Each structure stands twice: as C-alpha cells, then as structure tokens.
Chains A and B, each alone.
Chain A
Amino acid sequence: MPEDNNSVVIENLVKQFGDFVAVDHISLDIRKGEVFGFLGPNGAGKSTTIRMLCGLLTPTSGRARVAGYDVGREPESVRQNIGYMSQKFSLYNDLKVIENIRLFAGLYSVPSNQLQARIEWALEMANLKGQENLITGTLPGGWKQRLALGCAVLHKPPVIFLDEPTSGVDPISRRQFWDLIQHMAEEGVTVFVTTHYMEEAEYCNRLALIFRGKIVALGTPSELKRDSMKGELLLIECEPLGNAVEVLQSAPDVIDAAVFGNALHLVVRDAAAAIPQVKKYLSDHSITVGHIEKIRPSLEDVFVSLTTERDSGKERKA
C-alpha cells in the first residue's frame, strides 16, 4: 500500500561497520516524481544509504520505507517496486543485450503478455534497437549504462535508485542519460540518484549533501546556492595562482580560498568590504591582481565550503 505522496521516507537511518559509522542518523522525505540527488565525496555514505534502501544491507538502526514498504521487514516487496543500478556496471558481460533484458524481465516477473512490449520499450529507450545480439561486454560505456537502466526498469517500478550511474561515461552519453531520467520523472517515477558530478546535481529537483555519513545540507539547487554559503564569494584573476592561494588562506577576513580553473574563488564575510582589502593584501605579497568581482556561488562552491567547514570544525575538536 503505497504511502500518500512520499515515495521514500527515511527516519534516523544508521549503518555501522564495526567502529566506523558509515551512515549517521539520516532522515529524508522524498516525494513522488522527484529527482532527488545525493551528493558527496567518495566514502561519504552514499552507496551505503542506497544499498540499505534497496534492502541489500540491513540498517544498524532507524527505519526506511520505500514505495510504502519497510526495507528491514519487507525487503522482497521493496525489491519488486524498485529499480536499482549499482555503482559498478553489473549486468552480465558475457550475455547478449537481449539475453540480459530477458533475464531481468524474468527476475522481475514481467507478465508474458507484456513481455514483448517491455523488451521493445527497453531497447528503444536504451537506443539499442538492432544491437540486440551484441555481446554486452563489447558495448561502449554509455550504451552499457543505458542498457543497465533499461534492465532496472523493465517492471515499471515506482522508485528507482541509481548509484553514480554516469561515472566513467562520456559527456554526451551523460547528457542523454539525464534526459532519460528526466523523462521518467515526468511520468511519475521517483528517482534517487547519487553523483559527484556537480553539473549533474543541477538537474535534480532537490539535493542532499552528505559528508562523513551526515547530511550537511538539503534543498533545491538554488536554495543551496543561496543559503548554504557562510559568506559571499569573490572571483579573482591573479598571477601567480599557486602563491595567491597560500597567501590568501592566512589573510584576515578570508574564510576559504580555492583554485577554480584559471582563477581563485574566495569566500569572505562581506564582499564589498573585502575587495579593496584583498587587492591590497595581494599586491603587498607581490601578486599581480587582474580581475576581481563578486559572483554567485555554484554548487561546487557550496559543496567545497560546506565540507571544508566541517573538516576544520572536526580538527579543532580533536
């Protein structure tokens, strides 16, 4: 019995491996038809969370309901109502495209009167029409990912979990893949996706930033960019870049400094006040300043700012 509007409800979910707390009291509500992004560095607990939600790992404590079923107590019902793509490509490389599709159609018990239509649909969606008899292992990365997605949704699950679905895939294929995700969401499918590509995070309706097992920020991409930065952001073009970062990190009123492309991003409390000070500080250290301006933070800035903040907080405590 699916619950009202929330497809995924997570309450105080904890997963501990020995002394290591991989997921630390996470709570989330994810609405039907939402593309929910789960962002975080490697080892932050993204995969562990997804695996618990798919019933592959038993939570240490807390609970989660997926498509109306409790992951701890009704894992089989959960599995019939989800599609899952694991981080590593995990279809059978030695099977043909069509054999992989047939296998998963069987595993999800797709009724025989719908089977042909679903197979056609999956081939169409994955853009693999006419390639049915290729051995899966010989496909390029992007095709494999689309096939994996096709296999995971053969049974039209209301919720799908994608664990870094586009890692190692070229940018064009990545774009096509996200079009597919958007398309499914429009049809009411709830998509829970992890990624560490910041530009992909922009495609999500809402994002949760996870760091060291804890959710450090939650909101739409624009909310995060607007509210989550502690301070304002300056873009500085200067020469030499490496020295500038070092110098600025110990400058007064600078919260953080990082290289972004061929420029610097500087987090300060008050941009207007900081610009003249920074200019002076840099020339005092014989660094040539080109251009300097206040900019709107990108998700990457938010992410870096939030994680470094936590990092230094942790260090101070220790």
Chain B
Amino acid sequence: MAASVALRLNLPMTLTSPATFADGVREHQDEVYGVALRITGNRDAALDVASSTFLKAYRAFHRYDQTRPLRHWLLRIATNEAISYVRKRGRELRRIVAVDEATGVADVSAAPDAESVAREDRARVRAAVSQLPELYRVVIVLRYFNDLSVDEIAQVTGRPASTVGVQLLRGRALLRGALEGAR
C-alpha cells in the first residue's frame, strides 16, 4: 500500500520505508492543521500553513531522521511556518481574527444554557490565546492543544527546556490576567 502510494505520487523509493510520507500526512494532518489554526487564529491561514508544511515536508522527507518521531518533525515545520505566516501578515491577520471574533460572539439575549456558556468560554479562551505574544502562544498551543511535554516542546521549538517551562508559566499567567480582565 505504502509502496503503491509512493509510486503513484512519483516519490523516491526511500519514502516506502516504515514511516511513509503518506502515512505521516494521514496520521498527523489534523494536528498540523490544528496547531496552525491555534497559532494563526484563522482558518484560511491555517490551511495555507498546513499545505506549505506538507509541501516542505515532502521536499525534505529524504533528510528526515527516521529514528525520531515523525510527529515532532511535522509539528516543528508547521510551527515555523505558522510563525513566519503570522510575522509576514500579522497586521492583516489580526484584523481578520478581530472581525471573526466580533461576528462569532454569542447572542446575549438568548437564554444561556450550559452548552452556550461553555461555547462562550471556549471562544473567550481562544481569543485570549490568539492575543498572546507569539513567544508564549506557540508553547501554550503545543502544550495544551498538542499535549506535548516540556521536553518535547523544547525539541519542536529548539528552545531550552528551562526556557519553555518559564514561557509556559508566563503564558498561563498572561492568559489568566486577560481572562480575568475580560470578565
């Protein structure tokens, strides 16, 4: 199956080794898209980031060290791509995200049932995460969306583990402050 995928896509035969590119895409595409979505805060941007992540991964797959987890390698590319995207189109992106958030606010006149309260809380937390400085947003997303440990985040971001620990603490404190201020 893997070999047929490799042949059909005209991939080099090295891709037919245990972790194939096709398997990687299939298995991790939601996670790659999710990390891009939570870092950029916008769906179109996340789709762009995820596409360019897979494109870069496809081109560099022969350099991928197969003794290391494919997931971390893909997340590293995705995180870097998302950061570059946000840096390049930051202002435009913030405007779009602000409009999305404004239009996504729940109707306050409706009776607040448990589900709508929970939805509103999720929206508030996501908005607060999207407002975090990029430095903290990345580690918060990798920790609480991708469920990575501090050491894994350090591997993915290339930052020292101690720095990641401090950035997580600071990021959580900033989030708490933002959420309490929004109440």
Q: Do A and B come from one complex?
A: no
- Interface residues of A, Cβ cutoff 8 Å to B: none
